């Protein structure tokens, strides 16, 4: 079912279901294949011309926390609710998330407020269960080249927000997207979240050049996560503004009703009032950078 436009596989001695590969590590994510794509998360269009912001807590910690976060981000203009249930933590001694219970809460609270929901999966065995709850799957940096997980998501029909690994080249990132696309799932959103470099002033180095590059090399919509590279909440806004100015279609931001009490990433989650200000700024910069 996959072939290059204007190429008849049989002309190359291949069966009709074979993949035609003109060379290079990535194909289906390439802008040579298609000029631009719009991905729908719930009813929200990503890549369609408006800036989409997904916001919510790093981790779902409980129903009250989640509802407070969701109400705040909705009031400020976020269109999607994010929240971690399966948390891939560097240390096995850190809080690992509520698992499926977290997904249930996301579904419930998102439904109440009319916000489609996004959450991370970390194992092919979680995909079937998570499918019932989420409107988009998120693949984190540590699983950016977990190809078995990507294949499993490629067999579903729900959008995949594919983060770039912190040691992954742009070419590898697009090749990873091809693992999903090859399964027939065309709904991939690329997400830049900072790479590892020698400088540790911030937690990671947001690579705005990569954002600009994948907007040209690929047809897929591009998201920026400013929270993880910032590491501290005072840096979330400037990184988000830079990402939007460089071409991002979407932002994925951590907002917590009371960050000081968060069970993870407490330093980098925005407060509801910071997020209000944040939304005003990112919207203004988005418009200015798209005006002709």
Residues 181-210 that bind its own copies (CB under 8 A): 182, 194-202, 204-210
Put residue 22 in one of left, alpha, beta given phi > 0 → left and psi -120 to 50 → alpha.
alpha
Residue 109's Cβ-side half-sphere holds a number of Cα atoms within 13 Å equal to 29
User: 3, 17 in Cβ contact below 8 A?
Assistant: no
Q: Spell out the residues 6+ positions from residue 261 whose beta carbon is closer than 8 angstroms to its own.
A: none
Nearer to its own copies, 148 or 157 (CB): 148
| Residue 26 in contact with its own copies, rule: CB under 8 A | yes
**Stretch near its own copies under the rule CB under 8 A, chosen from 62-70, 112-120, 129-137, 159-167:** 159-167
Nearer to its own copies, 100 or 258 (CB): 100
The angle formed by the CA atoms of residues 60, 65 and 69, to the nearest 5 degrees, is 90
User: 211, 243 in Cβ contact below 8 A?
Assistant: yes
Parallel, antiparallel or unpaired: strands 44-46 and 39-41: antiparallel
Using CB under 8 A, pick the residue from 123, 186, 258, 267 that binds its own copies: 123
- Contact characters 267-286, its own copies, x per CB under 8 A: --------------x--xx-
User: 262, 277 in Cβ contact below 8 A?
Assistant: no
**Stretch near its own copies under the rule CB under 8 A, chosen from 40-48, 69-77, 232-240, 260-268:** 232-240
User: 52, 81 in Cβ contact below 8 A?
Assistant: no
| Residue 120 in contact with its own copies, rule: CB under 8 A | no
Q: Which of residues 48-87 bind its own copies (CB under 8 A)?
A: none
| Residue 213 in contact with its own copies, rule: CB under 8 A | yes
Residues touching its own copies, count (CB under 8 A): 75
Nearer to its own copies, 65 or 269 (CB): 269
Nearer to its own copies, 46 or 141 (CB): 141
Using CB under 8 A, pick the residue from 35, 43, 49, 91 that binds its own copies: 91
Residue 224: φ, ψ to 5° = -120, 135
Using CB under 8 A, pick the residue from 65, 119, 156, 175 that binds its own copies: 175
Nearer to its own copies, 65 or 143 (CB): 143
Q: Say how many residues make up the chain.
A: 292
User: 34, 233 in Cβ contact below 8 A?
Assistant: no
| Residue 166 in contact with its own copies, rule: CB under 8 A | yes
């Amino acid at each position: 079912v996959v072939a290059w436009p204007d190429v008849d596989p049989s002309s190359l001695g291949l069966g009709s279901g074979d993949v035609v590969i003109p060379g290079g590590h990535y194909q289906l994510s390439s802008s040579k294949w298609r000029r631009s794509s719009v991905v729908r998360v719930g009813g929200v269009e990503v890549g369609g011309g408006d800036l989409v912001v997904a916001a919510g807590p790093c981790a779902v910690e409980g129903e009250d926390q989640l509802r407070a976060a969701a109400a705040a981000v909705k009031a400020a203009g976020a269109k999607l609710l994010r929240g971690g249930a399966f948390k891939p933590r560097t240390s096995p001694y850190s809080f690992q998330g509520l698992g499926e219970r977290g997904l249930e809460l996301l579904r419930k609270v998102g439904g109440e407020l009319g916000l489609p929901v996004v959450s991370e999966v970390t194992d092919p065995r979680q995909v079937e269960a998570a499918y019932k709850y989420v409107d988009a799957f998120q693949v984190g940096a540590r699983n950016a080249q977990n190809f078995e997980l990507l294949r499993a998501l490629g067999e579903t029909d729900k959008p995949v927000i594919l983060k770039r690994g912190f040691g992954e080249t742009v070419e590898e990132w697009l090749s990873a997207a091809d693992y999903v696309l090859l399964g027939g799932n065309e709904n991939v959103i690329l997400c830049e979240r900072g790479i590892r470099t020698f400088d540790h002033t911030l937690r990671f180095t947001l690579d705005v050049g990569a954002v600009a590059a994948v907007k040209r090399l690929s047809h897929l919509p591009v998201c920026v996560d400013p929270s993880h590279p910032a590491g501290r909440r005072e840096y979330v806004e400037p990184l988000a503004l830079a990402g939007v100015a460089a071409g991002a279609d979407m932002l994925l931001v951590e907002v917590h009703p009371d960050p000081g009490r968060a069970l993870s990433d407490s330093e980098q989650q925005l407060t509801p009032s910071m997020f209000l200000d944040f939304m005003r700024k990112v919207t203004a910069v988005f418009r200015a950078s798209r005006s002709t």
